[in-house]
Every structure is written in structure tokens, then in C-alpha cells.
């Protein structure tokens, strides 16, 4: 076999390897983009349900305010916590553990303030029987359930993405194109301790 034929054969093999590597890289990159977009979409849905809760709060506060004028500090705490929670914005491209913890902390403060507001309502039988209040409370409870579902969905999608980013050989493409791992929602601090109930 002549040197020219060997050279053509070698070039042919190199061309086949290059084509295979190109298609592998393209498919891996597109798969990572697809998973990244799924994480962003799941994050948008998390923000959506938190926004729904934030939108319900002014109506709830206004309804309670009509019955519980002297509970102004509790009402102000809810309004303040809502303002803080809605001011925390996170770039979906960089969903780090620290950013999610900051976001979750602001949302937990709002949940805590809402819990205190609902506890105050127990002192007002007329308010507890008010149809507007009952409807708002039911919507708020439904929204809290939606938040839980969307957070679980986000964590599931983020796990799939993070697995793809860390798995060899896809991690080579991920590091080349800066596909960074995403954070997860975690249980609030102290959630592992059962509350003490006293009668």
C-alpha cells in the first residue's frame, strides 16, 4: 500500500472521528441547554406561585384591618415581610445555594408573619365568620400547597440538570460552556424538630 493511500485512509478515519465528536458535542450541548431551560421554567413557576401568595396578602390584610384595628403591629409586620419577600430577585441563570437560601429566608419571614396574623384572627369570631376572610384564607392555603408542589418540581428538575452537568463525559461540555450547577430548596432551619403542642 502506498503512502498516499495510507494518508487518505488516515484522513478518512480522522474525518469520521471528527464528525462523531461534533455530533456528540452538539447533542450533549443541546441536551444541557434543554435541561437548563427546564430549570428556568420550573423556577419561573416557583416565582409565579409565590407572587400569587403576595397578591393575596393585601386583600387579607385589608379584610383583617376592618375587624382588628388595634392589631396594627401584626398587620404592619405582614406588609413589611411581603415587601421584603417581593424585593428579593434571583437570576434564573445563577440559581446558587446562597441565592435560594436568601430567597427562602425572605419567604419564610412572610410565612411566619402570616401565621401570626392567622393566630390573631382567632380572637375575632366575627372575622372568622366573614365570607371574604374565609375565601381569602382558603385561597392562601391552596397557594401554600401549590408552593410546596412547585418547589418539589423545581428540585426534581434541578437534580436532573445537575446530574447531567456532572456526569462524564457531558461534564466536559458543561465546563467548556459554563453550565454551572443549580441550587436546591431545602427545609427551613428547625423544620426537623417537631413543634411542641400544649393544651
Q: Which pLDDT value is given to residue 131?
A: 87
Q: Which pLDDT value is given to residue 72?
A: 82
Buried b or exposed e, range 20-48, using 16+ CB within 10 angstroms:
eeeeebeebbeebeebbebbbebbebbbe
Per-residue model confidence as pLDDT tens for the chain (199 residues)? 677 778 788 888 999 999 999 999 999 999 999 999 999 999 999 999 999 999 999 988 888 888 877 778 888 899 999 999 999 998 888 888 999 999 999 999 999 999 888 888 888 888 878 888 889 889 999 999 999 999 999 999 999 999 999 999 999 999 999 999 999 998 766 554 444 434 2
Q: Which pLDDT value is given to residue 197?
A: 36
C-beta separation of 56 from 139 below 8 A:
yes
* CATH match of 45-176 with 1.20.1440.20: yes
Q: Which pLDDT value is given to residue 130?
A: 85
Q: Which pLDDT value is given to residue 195?
A: 43
Alpha-carbon separation of residue 1 from 10, 11, 14, 15, 151 (angstroms): 13, 15, 19, 20, 65
Q: Which pLDDT value is given to residue 1?
A: 60
Contacts of 123 (CB under 8 A, 6+ apart): 68
Break the chain into its structural domains and give their ranges. 45-176
Specify the pTM.
Answer: 0.83
Amino acid at each position: 500500500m502506498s503512502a498516499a493511500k495510507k494518508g487518505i485512509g488516515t484522513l478518512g478515519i480522522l474525518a469520521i472521528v471528527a464528525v462523531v465528536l461534533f455530533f456528540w458535542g452538539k447533542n450533549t450541548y443541546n441536551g444541557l441547554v434543554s435541561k437548563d431551560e427546564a430549570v428556568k421554567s420550573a423556577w419561573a413557576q416557583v416565582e409565579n406561585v409565590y407572587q400569587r401568595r403576595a397578591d393575596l396578602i393585601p386583600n387579607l390584610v385589608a379584610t383583617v384591618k376592618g375587624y382588628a384595628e388595634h392589631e396594627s403591629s401584626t398587620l404592619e409586620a405582614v406588609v413589611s415581610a411581603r415587601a421584603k419577600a417581593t424585593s428579593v430577585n434571583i437570576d434564573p441563570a445563577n440559581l446558587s445555594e446562597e441565592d435560594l437560601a436568601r430567597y427562602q429566608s425572605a419567604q419564610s419571614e412572610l410565612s411566619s408573619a402570616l401565621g401570626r396574623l392567622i393566630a390573631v384572627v382567632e380572637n375575632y369570631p366575627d372575622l372568622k365568620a366573614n365570607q371574604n376572610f374565609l375565601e381569602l384564607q382558603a385561597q392562601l392555603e391552596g397557594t401554600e400547597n401549590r408552593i410546596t408542589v412547585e418547589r418539589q418540581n423545581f428540585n426534581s428538575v434541578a437534580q436532573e440538570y445537575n446530574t447531567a452537568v456532572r456526569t462524564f463525559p457531558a461534564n466536559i461540555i458543561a465546563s467548556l460552556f459554563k453550565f454551572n450547577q443549580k441550587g436546591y430548596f431545602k427545609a427551613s432551619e428547625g423544620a426537623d424538630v417537631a413543634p411542641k403542642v400544649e393544651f
